[in-house]
């Protein structure tokens, strides 16, 4: 009798030897959702057949007249792959001898550490318990390639959650002390994102905001942030983007109000309280990349019960991460997401600042300096001073705003809605305006 690893190898060998397309069952943990036919080269979903459990389709995928919206499903599947803008991805694809990042998806059954969807080769007897990455070990080969540790082609074990990791910065999953942890780098020339993640984490500690804890490590003289996966074998993250695609938005409803309406329709209570906190944090750290795929809700993958708001994560593109020191405090150079074009406009959406204990932020400037002192190769004293001044200026503005604020001051101007709500592209890594 073949052991699991041998069966997996045999199935993979069968799948990737010259055949143009393959048949799968899209699974949601142990629940069969629908049958798919996928092109083996492009990763494109060619056909969708026999949808058994339409309620378990990914959020935002239409199902009418017993037919799945194949274009929307392809978009979801494409978004599951590593973006083409990922730092170093072209070199990684050359080393792996693959035509595109989508070709990586089926090599790990489409498994992720963010949700419970996967592809079961039609006719196989492999189960989710056998192969999921929450309970089973995974290869570090793909992570090594993506992070730049492997420089030449070779024989690789593709059984890795790194095949389905999103975002444009170099990153990898590792098992550290039996915990699934995401290790993420920064962008040239300042490599500031890992330090910013730690600063944002410490800030939210002081404000008693639910968030993911980040720490800092060094590898080959490069800084990386590390955080533990906040999804487990029973839960999954559903992004704000996916949630908003599930409900129709009319032209008279703002992006902000649409998201609030969607969450309330799903039974999420006190959603405005959580959004208030996210907006305030993003203002204080001058976050430029809170796009609609790095915040959202958590649900039970089997029962589809909504658990609540995801803790705040992914706050690294902050404090002028890509700008010269003299530009860091320039409001005109800052972009804003996910609701309004500027942070000050976004602050106008906050219903209450009563939850903020401003005394808890006393001395935080020195904590910022202490964290940045570990980045002397990238952030000199002039840059550190600019980051600290930016925080202090924003802190003072927030204090003054909170004193004079009332719920009657809320302004949700549709003309100030974001026009493009996508992730940052780090290929142009420094702003030379």
Q: Which two tokens stand for residue 221?
A: 């003289």
Phi, psi of 118 (to 5 degrees): -160, 165
The pTM of this model reads: 0.92
Q: Which two tokens stand for residue 56?
A: 């378990």
Using the structure block, give the residue that is written with the tokens 């058994």. 52
What is the predicted pLDDT for the residue at 41? 82
pLDDT in single tens digits along all 433 residues of the chain: 344 444 444 444 444 445 667 999 999 999 999 999 999 888 899 999 999 999 999 999 999 999 999 999 999 999 999 999 999 999 999 999 999 999 999 999 999 999 999 999 999 999 999 999 999 999 999 999 999 999 999 999 999 999 999 999 999 999 999 999 999 999 999 999 999 999 999 999 999 999 999 999 999 999 999 999 999 999 999 999 999 999 999 999 999 999 999 999 999 989 999 999 999 999 999 999 999 999 999 999 999 999 999 999 999 999 999 999 999 999 999 999 999 999 999 999 999 999 999 999 999 999 999 999 988 789 899 999 999 999 999 999 999 999 988 776 789 999 999 987 766 665 554 443 3
Residue 259's nearest CA partner among 421, 117, 73 is 421
Q: In this structure, are residues 193 and 205 in contact, taking their beta carbons and an 8 Å threshold?
A: no
Can you say how many angstroms the Cα of residue 34 is from the centroid of all Cα atoms in its chain? 26
């Amino acid at each position: 009798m073949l052991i699991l690893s041998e069966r997996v190898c045999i199935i993979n060998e069968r799948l990737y030897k010259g055949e143009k397309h393959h048949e799968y069952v899209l699974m949601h943990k142990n629940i069969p959702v629908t049958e798919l036919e996928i092109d083996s080269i492009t990763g494109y979903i060619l056909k969708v057949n026999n949808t058994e459990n339409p309620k378990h389709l990914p959020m935002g995928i239409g199902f009418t007249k017993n037919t799945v919206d194949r274009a929307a499903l392809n978009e979801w599947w494409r978004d599951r792959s590593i973006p083409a803008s990922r730092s170093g991805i072209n070199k990684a694809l050359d080393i792996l001898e693959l035509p595109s990042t989508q070709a990586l998806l089926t090599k790990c059954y489409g498994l992720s550490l963010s949700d419970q969807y996967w592809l079961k080769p039609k006719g196989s007897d492999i189960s989710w318990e056998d192969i999921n990455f929450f309970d089973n070990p995974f290869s570090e080969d793909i992570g090594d390639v993506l992070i730049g540790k492997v420089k030449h082609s070779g024989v690789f074990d593709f059984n890795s959650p790194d095949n389905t990791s999103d975002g444009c910065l170099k990153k990898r999953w590792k098992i550290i002390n039996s915990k699934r942890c995401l290790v993420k780098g920064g962008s040239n020339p300042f490599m500031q994102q890992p330090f910013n993640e730690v600063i944002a984490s410490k800030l939210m500690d002081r404000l008693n905001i639910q968030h993911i804890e980040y720490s800092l490590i060094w590898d080959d003289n490069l800084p990386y942030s590390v955080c533990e996966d906040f999804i487990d074998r029973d839960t999954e993250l559903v992004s704000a983007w996916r949630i908003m695609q599930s409900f129709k938005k009319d032209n008279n409803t703002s992006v902000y109000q649409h998201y609030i309406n969607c969450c309330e329709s799903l039974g999420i209570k006190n959603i405005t309280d959580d959004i208030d906190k996210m907006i305030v944090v993003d203002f204080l750290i001058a976050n430029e990349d809170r796009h609609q795929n790095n915040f959202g809700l958590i649900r039970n993958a089997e029962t589809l019960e909504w658990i609540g708001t995801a803790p705040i994560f992914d706050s690294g593109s902050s404090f002028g991460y890509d700008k010269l020191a003299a530009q860091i405090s320039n409001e005109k150079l800052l972009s804003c997401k996910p609701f309004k074009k500027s942070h000050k406009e976004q602050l106008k959406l906050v219903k209450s600042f009563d939850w903020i204990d401003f005394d808890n932020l006393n001395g935080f400037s020195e904590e910022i300096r202490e964290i940045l002192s570990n980045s002397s190769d990238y952030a000199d004293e002039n840059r550190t001073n600019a980051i600290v001044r930016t925080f202090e200026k924003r802190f003072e503005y927030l204090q003054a705003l909170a004193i004079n604020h009332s719920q009657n001051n809320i302004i949700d101007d549709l003309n100030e809605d974001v026009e493009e709500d996508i992730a940052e592209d780090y290929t142009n890594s420094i702003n030379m305006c």
